[in-house]
Structure 1
Amino acid sequence: MATDSPHPTRKALRRNVLALLAVLAALLATLVSVSSASAAPTPTIVLVHGAFADSTGWDGVATRLSSKGYPVQRFDNPLRGPAHDSALLEKKLAAIDGPIVLVGHSYGGMVITNVDDPDVVANVYIAAFAPAQGEFVQGLLNPIVYPGSRLLPPALQVKVVDDPTGVAGRNLDGYIARPYFREVFAQDVSVATAADMFAHQKSAALVANLEPSGPASWTRVPSWYLVSGQDRVIPPALQRFMASRVAPGHTSEVGASHVSMVSHPAAVTAVIEKAATA
């Protein structure tokens, strides 16, 4: 009486075992990938305001970032000069654990450019100065090369302020006069919003505009730039020039005034998220 050969059964068993091993291997790879992704720390976003503003200008952006799970901190920028202000910012960053994304608006770009911190994984410039080493604000705002800035007298006024960093405890600061504030600085926000921004305005030391930048962090830190296409403070053409050096391939534009973080917080938040997830 003939009996079936045992070999097909062993072959089938072997195929089943190999198939099971393949499934287990794929499952293990998926688990490792998910575990690695979940273990990656979420960067802390540090928002740095510029001249003629304070940290409340970041309210709309900070709220959106926090709702997406990002830790957010703001730097109360003294507006005294790039070296002084960046040194204070570095002290703040030293207390933050994990990766950091620095976001600078306007003169705040000078400050983040002069920061040296190994935990900074990205810079984001929002209508900001992004100097090369040795460049300074007033030099970049060359009206012959880049005309269009309306940050001039009578809109720009000066006053003497108490300042421990100045000569004999005093300094000469610039600010934007009330009648010109919305027209020059924030023409695309409501009258009420502009009035609130004016009430929060911080004057900036005039010497801060003449202080050369130190080594530029954007030469070693990946950077992003959002150009404000209707800017009346930093001409859009100057912004595009700086962005071409700082953030090639990471530059976008929004049809906004100088304060895009107030008038277009969603667009600003989107750029910051790109930098934070890159």
Structure 2
Amino acid sequence: MATSSTPTVVLVHGAFADASSWTGVIAELQNHGIPVVAPPNPLRGLASDAAYIASVAAQIDGPVVLVGHSYGGALISVAGTTENVVGLVYVAAYATEEGESLGELQGRFPLSPLVSNLKEATYPVEGAEPAVEVTIKAEAFPDIFAADVPAPVTKVLALAQRPLAAAAFTETASAAAWKTKPSWALVAAADQAINPEVQRFGAKRAGAEIVELEGASHAVAVSRPKEVADLIREAVRATS
């Protein structure tokens, strides 16, 4: 069972999803007595979202392992510099370098089908012009985001998407916590949202311990929660 030195796992979801995407992973971790928090990711911009996640982590008593899915990986790379964060786990995620944007990291490799299947809308910004946010076109969502998740589930996920501020793609990361904190990475080998090459490149650059899941879609935390939780447990064991 958990002791006071067992790190708390903070699960950071990515774009086009919410914290419920971690449901299966949460159940697995709780079964092993690991404390878990799955905060909402505001999805409004790299710096502001990372500051929010850092604030969540800093208010937890004791050590924290930050886990980021997708865009959440860029957030933990920045928020991971928080003093009580002892490890980083990237799940089908961007592992950004200091001064690098998601667009730059992604642009080193062939673009995934996601890029041509985004739908733009606007949202109000107090005291400024409306800003642009993006979602995945509903008809393209199952293949791109969750090809290995049952169709009835993907229909719901497609309708319940949380949009990402388009500015998040061009904002540059202010830190790369993987330079000072140990990291682990799960590569979803059949990902159509983030090119698996992008995931591999970032994970190798970060010196992460890498696990690759054949046939796994971007929604790997939904389709393969046990394997995702196993890697997180490894990080918890190593940092306890």
Deviation at 1:200, TM superposition (A): 2.4
- 1:273 maps to a residue whose letter is R
Question: 2: distance between equivalents of 1:146 and 1:38?
Answer: 41
**What is the deviation of 1:169?**
6.2
Question: What SS does structure 2 have at the residue aligned with 1:77?
Answer: coil
Q: In the TM superposition, what whole-angstrom CA distance separates every residue of 1:228-258 from its partner, at most 9, and x where no partner exists? A: 000111111121111111134x111012011
Structure 1 residue 91 and structure 2 residue 35: aligned?
no
Q: TM-score scaled to structure 1, two decimals?
A: 0.81
Whether contact under 8 Å (1:44, 1:70) holds in the other structure is: yes
Is 1:102 aligned to residue 61 of structure 2? Answer: no
Alignment of 1:163-174 (within 5 A): 163-164=125-126, 168=128, 170-174=130-134
Give the root-mean-square deviation of aligned CA atoms. 1.6
For the pair 1:197 / 2:157, whether they are aligned, the reply is yes
Is the Cα–Cα contact under 8 Å of residues 126 and 268 in structure 1 kept in the other structure? yes
Task: Say whether the 8 Å CA contact 2:2–2:33 is kept in structure 1.
Answer: no
Q: Counterpart amino acid of 2:17?
A: A
2:86 partner SS: strand
**Counterpart-to-counterpart distance in 2, 1:170 and 1:45:** 35
Which whole-Å deviations, capped at 9, do the CAs of 1:250-273 have from their partners, x for residues lacking one?
Answer: 111012011110111011000000
Partner of 1:7: none
Q: CA deviation at 1:148?
A: 4.8
Tell me the number of residue pairs that the alignment of Structure 1 and Structure 2 aligns.
Answer: 236
- Residue 140 of structure 2 is matched in structure 1 by 180
Task: State the alpha-carbon separation in 2 of the partners of residues 224 and 50 from structure 1.
Answer: 17
Given the alignment, which residue of 139, 151, 162 partners 2:124? 162
Q: Which amino acid aligns with 1:190?
A: P
Runs of 4+ in 1 over 4 A off after TM superposition: 37-40
Q: 2:101 — aligned with what?
A: 136
8 Å Cα contact 1:51/1:106 also seen in 2: yes
**Cα 1:163/1:261, change in 2 over 3 Å:** farther
Counterpart of 1:151 in structure 2 is 114
Alpha-carbon distance in structure 2 between the residues aligned to 1:182 and 1:38: 37
Q: Is contact 1:148-1:232 (8 Å) kept?
A: no
Alignment of 1:228-243 (within 5 A): 228-243=188-203
Q: State the 1:193 CA deviation.
A: 1.1
Distance 1:235 1:38, change over 3 A: closer
Which secondary structure does the structure 1 equivalent of 2:156 belong to? helix
The alpha carbon displacement at 1:40 in A equals 5.6
Question: C-alpha separation between the residues in 1 aligned to 2:111 and 2:189?
Answer: 12
Question: Which residue of 1 is the match for residue 25 of structure 2?
Answer: 61
Pair 1:257–1:38, CA change in 2 (3 A)? closer
Deviation at 1:38, TM superposition (A): 8.4
Q: Label 1:65 to 1:39 Cα distance change in 2 as closer, same or farther (>3 A).
A: closer
Once the two structures are TM-superposed, the CA of residue 94 in structure 1 deviates from its matched residue by 2.2
2:36 aligned with 1:72:
yes
Normalised to the residue count of structure 2, the TM-score between the two structures is 0.94
CA shift in 2, pair 1:39/1:187, >3 Å: closer
Q: Which structure has the greater CA radius of gyration?
A: 1
**Contact 1:133-1:215 at 8 Å conserved across structures:** yes
Instruction: Give the secondary-structure state (helix, strand or coil) at the position aligned to 2:231.
Output: helix
* Structure 2 unaligned blocks of 5 or more: none
- Aligned-partner Cα distance in 2 for 1:38–1:187: 35
| Higher RCO (Cα < 8 Å, 6 or more apart) | 2
Cα distance in 2 for partners of 1:174, 1:38 equals: 40
> What secondary structure, in the 3-state scheme, does the structure 1 residue paired with 2:139 have?
helix
Asked if residue 214 in structure 1 is aligned to residue 174 in structure 2, the reply is yes
Amino acid at match of 1:134: G
- 1 or 2, which has the higher helix percentage? 1
Q: Alignment partner of 2:114: what SS? A: coil
- Distance in 2 of aligned mates of 1:201 and 1:177: 10
Asked whether 1:253 is paired with 2:216, we answer: no
Q: What is the deviation of 1:161?
A: 1.3
